[in-house]
Amino acid sequence: MCGIIGFVGCEEAAPILLDGLERMEYRGYDSAGIAVRSETKGLQVKKCKGRLKVLSELTHGGADLEGTLGIGHTRWATHGEPNDINAHPHISENGQIALVHNGIIENYLEIKEHLMKLGVTFTSDTDSEVVAQLLEFHYNECHNMLEAVGRVLRRIEGSYALGIVCSDYPNALIAARKDSPLIIGYGENGNFIASDVTAIIKHTRDVVYMGDGEIAVLTADSVDVFDDEMVPLEKKHSTVDWDVSAAEKGGYAHFMFKEIMEQPEAIRKTISPRIREGRVVLDDVSVTAEYVQDISRIFIIACGSSYHVGMVSKYNWERLLRRPVQVDLASEFRYSDPLVDEHSLVVVISQSGETLDTMAAMREAKRRGARTLAIVNVVGSSIAREADDVLYTWAGPEIAVATTKAYSTQLVLMDLIGLYLADLLGTVEKSEYDDILVEVQALPEKMQSFLDHFEDVQYFASRYFNHNSIFFIGRNLDYAMGLEGSLKLKEISYIHSEAYASGELKHGTISLIEPGTLVVALGTYAALFDKAMSNVVEVKARGAEVLAVTTKSFQEKMEKTADSTIVVPDTHPILQPSLGVVPLQLFAYYVALQRGCDIDKPRNLAKSVTVE
Ligand code: AGP
């Protein structure tokens, strides 16, 4: 997704902007640009299609652009193809206003037509340029930039995070947001705006999260924030508590690999503050036993891998709570006229906390009276701020587009919540509660023991990387886990892959199995292991090559039938996906490596999907 950075201070802006943009590269982009203003040279803009390296070369590392006030942008095309002209910043017709924009202006065509009738000439195909031209139009009318920004914001519809520089305001950076993240950073040598904390963490941890409808004016030594009526606001400061090294590769070849290896620690950080004296403690959630008794249905809503966490949790929560749990894709839920009311608990899961569909689904659920609980990794993100309750996964910054440690921490946090709710409902035996909790606490160590010796996964990846189509099969929790394994493989290796509930094979899919087809058979769910084995035998009989993932307990049985077997440690059945998914992440990683793919920045994908 697009990235924004802005700086105003007493250092040269261009190198700071380029560095900030580089730190947001992981979000995905197709073009980049910066605009810097100086007394002598006025507004200077450089932008181009392609990687930041090109922009950096074009500007000699920023040295060509003089000035201590500027804005930068990485663009992920929505309106208009990726090219130099459509790249941001966009400049108003008279060259006096430069603007960067994240989000989508829904009524841009109508405004564009109106301005064109008034004689304004447009150069790009973007919705964002419309904002720059409209701003100039209003500024020419009122000669007051803040007033002009206010008029523009009242006219445009859609989502936006905006960074604005105007020649007439040599010391001010203006920012505004609605439904697209934007933070303000307070530095020693100046102040910042950014769409992502990683862009400015090197300079400051003192940040303010801008709210919807807010406008900010930054100078080198002041920051003023206003609401949409231009009433000044007192904003609460937050401290970013992770270190800059957390967002760097630290010697690893890829962020994805680093993040896979960080999983035991991320799980430890997520669970340890929430387990005290043998009980699950959720300090931030204020639910009573009466409230939980009154819930008639639980909805889990998310997208992508977060949705797959929901799939695992559906099985686990229904088993623990004996209550109906429905998992919905956020993009479907929001338009489905959902049967949600004040007796529904709606749990939304989102690593970024900015996924537009998930946010819209949550708002829809709230509108219908449901209570919402958000599981989020990014502190202060939009979903975290709007949910009734929020529980953070403490995975630290996740940079690779393909999620690993965020998925694992979401999974274990959902297990803790399930246990907590079951305890309130009285639907879990004390002995089982205790067993699960002991095993939750043992997960980091067990996961580490697997991560210390995964050479076989690497070997199997080198053996199977040239398959063009790979099937993942499994039952119950193994099926839910297979969905994630298949998505990991698809997104970074570009191999076609499907995950099926094993029992569904003979209802159609088995016709696709032919001699040599690779089937990844998941057999970690003890209760259905024998059924899973029958399906392995079925695909073997049709000539499939079977790579199996199973537990130590079932290793011997599995090895008799499968061609290759990966073994993970045993744990309590409901926690088994937490261990089983690790070889699937590593398999996807090494297959993608063998195929020479851009692992951290897979084609066409973005880290957080802030558009519909
Ligand atoms: C998974 O590897 C993907 N990056 C993607 O499916 C992701 O999980 C999805 O876009 C949801 O993102 P969120 O958790 O930030 O809402």
For residues 155-180, give the mean pLDDT: 93
Are the beta carbons of 239 and 272 closer than 8 angstroms?
no
The number of the ligand 1 atom at minimal distance from the alpha carbon of 355 is: 16
- pLDDT exceeds cutoff 80 at 410: yes
The number of the ligand 1 atom at minimal distance from the alpha carbon of 605 is: 4
- pLDDT exceeds cutoff 80 at 116: yes
3-state SS class at 434: helix
For residues 128-137, give the mean pLDDT: 96
Are the beta carbons of 297 and 270 closer than 8 angstroms?
no
Question: Distance, CA 403 to ligand 1 centroid (Å)?
Answer: 7
For residues 357-373, give the mean pLDDT: 96
- pLDDT exceeds cutoff 90 at 50: no
What beta strand segments (E) does 231-341 contain?
232-233, 238-239, 275-276, 279-280, 297-302, 325-329
336-351 pLDDT per residue, tens: 999 999 999 999 999 9
Q: HSE-up of 355 (CA within 13 Å, CB side)?
A: 26
Binding pocket residue ranges, ligand 1, CB within 6 Å: 303-306, 350-352, 355, 358, 401-403, 491, 608-609
Closest CA to 487 of 405, 573, 581, 377: 581
Tokens of 241: 């508590």
Question: Ligand 1 atom 5: the closest Cα is on which residue?
Answer: 304
The number of the ligand 1 atom at minimal distance from the alpha carbon of 352 is: 15
- pLDDT band at residue 2 under the 50/70/90 scheme: confident
Are the beta carbons of 76 and 103 closer than 8 angstroms?
no
Per-residue pLDDT at 287: 83
Q: Which of 2, 166, 303, 597 is catalytic?
A: 2
197-237 pLDDT per residue, tens: 889 999 999 999 999 999 999 999 999 999 999 999 999 99
CA distance 2 to 27: 7
Per-residue pLDDT at 276: 95
Q: Probe ligand 1: pick from 352, 585, 612, max atoms within 8 Å of CB?
A: 352
Under the phi-then-psi rule, with left for phi > 0, alpha for psi from -120 to 50, and beta for the rest, what region is 426?
A: left
- Catalytic (active site) residue 41: no
- Catalytic (active site) residue 2: yes
